[in-house]
A and B are shown apart, each in its own frame.
Chain A
Amino acid sequence: DAKTTQPNSMESNEEEPVHLPCNHSTISGTDYIHWYRQLPSQGPEYVIHGLTSNVNNRMASLAIAEDRKSSTLILHRATLRDAAVYYCILLNSGGSNYKLTFGKGTLLTVNP
């Protein structure tokens, strides 16, 4: 399975944009890039996912590099509620893929 690399932690100020990076240099053409986040004492929560093109939703934007070897999750205006662990995960669409594997993720701290 292709692996992802994320910084262990990042810090941001409230109401400023946050760019969370993820490297996935061994990504295959059929790997989707997913982001989940986990707020303290809660279950993980879906944020966004994409394959090749940049994606936007009400929570965030996903910017995917042209060679797909890296991606960036963008929170446009961080709030205190965005303080969480963010997981970048690759999921292959080929065959039967039932397993979403979580690494340690990036701990985002948002300062007031």
Chain B
Amino acid sequence: NAGVTQTPKFRILKIGQSMTLQCTQDMNHNYMYWYRQDPGMGLKLIYYSVGAGITDKGEVPNGYNVSRSTTEDFPLRLELAAPSQTSVYFCASSGQVLANEKLFFGSGTQLSVL
């Protein structure tokens, strides 16, 4: 029972490089989310998706792009990496709208931009 899987676990980027953080879930969840967590802080929502082909911005979307071509996958793309994007990134999923539902998280990707 894999749940939510994120790759890679660690990555170092140079300023201006681009990369894609991968996220996949095997629970057939419609709702998926990307969060970032800066040191000592709470999580901030970057983007979310309510189903294949449907995405929307969260609190801090600038510098990121997402796509949702399948129910299972929700990749997060950084086009021009900046030091401000140094953070831990968490992908999550839920089966329904959140109020009476659990959110399942991946183990995170630690990204450093130097």
Contact = CB atoms under 8 A, between A and B. Distances in A.
A98 B108 contact: no
Contacts, number: 67
Contact residue range for chain B?
20 to 34
Given A101-B45, A104-B42, A46 B97 contact: no
A97 B99 contact: yes
Contacts of A52: none
Given A32-B100, A93-B99, A93-B100, A45 B105 contact: yes
Given A96-B97, A97-B98, A104-B42, 4 more contacts: A42-B108, A44-B43, A44-B105, A91-B98
Interface of A: 30-32, 36, 41-46, 49, 51, 87, 91-93, 96-105
Interface of B: 4, 31, 33, 35, 40-45, 48, 50, 56, 58-59, 90, 92, 97-100, 102-108
